[in-house]
């Protein structure tokens, strides 16, 4: 190509990453490049070489050193006359670390650009690790002036406007943008549509896919032309290598239109987030499968269904752990659910262990009324039993508590909270009901268990109960879940006060104040809870970091 280039072929590689596995990430990029020998440029997501987010792993000097070596090797490989590569990595300059993209072409590193806007909210704490780069200059490559805003650089106007002022002809934004409910459309119609309107330039938005601990990336990459029209939309949740073709005309570079993928609506998108995050967590940590307690309730039922969809039913081991309070209906529902999913179900009664603990504690508990302590003992016996199976045979133990329960502390530490991962950690109870109903009527696109329905209707319709005492119901001590979830959404997601919740919904102030108190008191439990996929803007863990010990209340 010459300086008079009038056409471009750019491949958008929407792909996953393995944090810290530089060799695997580099090989994956090589494979993409090999499949598109006629392209001019291959784009890869943010931090594709080292994986995102690297967190404090990137503070190890050896990682940055190996990344520099690997980047130089990739650059040399572009000396074969094939496509150039835009690769995200880390760069060390003395004691400072930078989040960078590097343009590799003709056997060399043509240019690097450092991320200017470092996010420091929600899941992001980049200011703690990286140094912001200067406002980036355009990169002149093959006669074209490219603007290379890295993720947050494109989410705020300053960098893109600066690049436009320098004469950029095309903005290429590589991202590591985690999934949140409704974020896919917001990226396109609000954030990057605004960058196009402000600069008049076409934008390529490229995002990664895949799970990384508590966050999951949904892809949803796209191309916007300078007139604001959408030229391409890539799939959500799945890898894709989209070939885009560009022509330079009187008004600048224009992308030919291509496929416009339909992104999943609710609650299908939530379910896909749960599938992909659990699959990557289990497989990348090399567990042979999962084990979980199947109680006959809706939370464990939907977790079993998610696990079978993520891993296949042959890798899901359900265990019913009945006590003397377990109803026959729950036994039947658990058996029916396992049969519909197609997974293994064992039954291990805990009555003998409960009796043993009663005997052990009889002297210490003499003349003291039975209370929640005895209920918690049952839960902890179940946790010990399931952990024993996990230790003996290797599957990871899933926990099944939802966000409503975790908000108010209705979970037993070292009991039903014991385990390695919780698919429902950021899903309120009413979301769980919605997911169960949706899954019974649909087979998820990512599923490895293409059957439906998977949950007996009796599980969905019966009143929720922990069954730790006779005739127990959750609503004995909590507001009805539709009301509770409204309160919690305001208190957690919106950081609202008690009075604001009362003003919006008309709940009794005393009830809202009690729920706020329970929310604050349960922080110590949440600190000890297993990880689980982030769905909302304020998940427990990465987003909402409250002190355990404090005295502030609004009610």
DSSP code of residue 231: E
Residue 7's H or E segment, with its range, is strand 7-14
Dump the DSSP string for 178-213.
B--TTHHHHIIIIIIHHHHHHH---EEEEE-EEEET
For the four alpha carbons of 537, 543, 549 and 550, in that order, the dihedral sign comes to: negative
Q: How many residues does the chain have?
A: 555
Tokens 């379910």 -> residue: 271
Give the start-end residues of each E strand in 32-183: 41-43, 84-93, 96-105, 108-114, 139-141, 144-147, 170-175
- Rg of the Cα trace of the chain? 26
* CA pair distance 203, 232, nearest whole angstrom: 11
Who contacts 34 (Cβ-Cβ below 8 Å, separation ≥6)? none
Kindly tell me the burial class for residue 321, based on how many C-beta atoms sit within 10 Å of its own C-beta (0-12, 13-18, 19 or more).
buried
Q: Which residues pair with 292 in a beta bridge?
A: 318
- Alpha-carbon distance of 446 to 276, in angstroms, equals 8
Provide the token pair at 112.
Answer: 């690097």
Bridge partner list, 91: 98
Q: Report how far residue 340's alpha carbon sits from residue 397's, in angstroms, rounded to the nearest whole number.
A: 21
Active site amino acids? 46, 115, 151
d(Cα 247, Cα 479) in Å, to the nearest integer? 60
Counting Cβ atoms within 10 Å, is residue 152 exposed (0-12), middle (13-18) or buried (19+)? buried
């Amino acid at each position: 190509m010459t300086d008079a280039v009038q056409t471009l072929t750019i491949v958008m590689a929407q792909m996953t990453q393995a944090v810290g596995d530089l060799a695997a990430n580099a090989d994956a990029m090589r494979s993409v490049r090999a499949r598109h020998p006629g392209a001019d440029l291959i784009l890869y997501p943010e931090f594709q070489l080292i994986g995102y987010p690297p967190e404090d792993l990137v503070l190890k000097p050896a990682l940055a050193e190996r990344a520099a070596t690997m980047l130089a090797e990739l650059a040399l490989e572009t000396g074969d006359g094939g496509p150039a590569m835009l690769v995200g990595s880390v760069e060390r300059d003395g004691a400072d670390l930078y989040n960078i993209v590097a343009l590799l072409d003709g056997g060399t590193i043509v240019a690097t650009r450092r991320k200017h806007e470092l996010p420091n909210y929600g899941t992001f704490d980049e200011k703690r690790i990286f140094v912001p780069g200067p406002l980036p200059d355009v990169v002149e490559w093959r006669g074209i002036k490219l603007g290379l805003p890295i993720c947050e650089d494109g989410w705020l106007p300053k960098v893109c406007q600066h690049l436009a002022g320098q004469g950029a002809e095309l903005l290429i934004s590589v991202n590591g943008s985690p999934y949140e409910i409704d974020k896919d459309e917001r990226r396109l119609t609000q954030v990057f549509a605004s960058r196009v309107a402000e600069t008049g330039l076409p934008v390529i938005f490229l995002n990664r896919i895949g799970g990384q601990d508590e966050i999951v990336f949904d892809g949803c990459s796209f191309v916007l032309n300078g007139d604001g029209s959408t030229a391409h939309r890539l799939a959500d949740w799945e890898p894709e290598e989209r070939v885009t073709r560009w022509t330079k005309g009187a008004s600048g570079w224009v992308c030919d239109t291509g496929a416009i993928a339909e992104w999943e609506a609710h609650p299908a998108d939530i379910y896909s987030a749960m599938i992909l995050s659990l699959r990557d967590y289990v497989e990348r940590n090399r567990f042979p499968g999962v084990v979980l307690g199947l109680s006959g309730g809706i939370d464990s039922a939907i977790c079993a269904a998610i696990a079978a969809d993520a891993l296949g039913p042959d890798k899901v081991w359900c265990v019913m752990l009945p006590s003397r309070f377990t109803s026959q209906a729950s036994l039947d529902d658990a058996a029916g659910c396992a049969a519909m999913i197609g997974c293994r179900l064992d039954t291990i009664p805990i009555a003998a262990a409960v009796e043993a603990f009663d005997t052990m504690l009889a002297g210490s508990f003499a003349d003291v009324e039975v209370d929640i302590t005895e209920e918690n003992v049952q839960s902890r016996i179940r946790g010990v039993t399931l952990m024993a199976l996990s230790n003996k045979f290797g599957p990871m133990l899933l926990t099944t508590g939802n966000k409503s329960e975790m908000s108010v502390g209705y979970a037993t530490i070292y009991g039903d909270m014991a385990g390695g991962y919780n698919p429902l950690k950021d899903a309120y109870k009413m979301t769980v009901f919605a997911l169960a109903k949706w899954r019974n009527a649909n087979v998820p696109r990512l599923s490895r268990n293409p059957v439906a329905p998977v949950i007996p209707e009796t599980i969905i319709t019966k009143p929720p109960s922990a069954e730790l005492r006779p005739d127990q119901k959750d609503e004995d001590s909590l507001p009805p879940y539709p009301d509770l979830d409204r309160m919690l959404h305001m208190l957690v997601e919106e950081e609202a006060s008690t009075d604001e919740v009362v003003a919006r919904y008309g709940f009794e102030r005393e009830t809202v104040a009690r729920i706020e108190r329970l929310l604050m008191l349960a922080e110590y439990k949440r600190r000890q809870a297993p990880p689980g996929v982030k769905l909302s803007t304020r998940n427990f863990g990465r987003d909402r970091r409250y002190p355990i010990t404090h005295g502030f209340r609004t009610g």
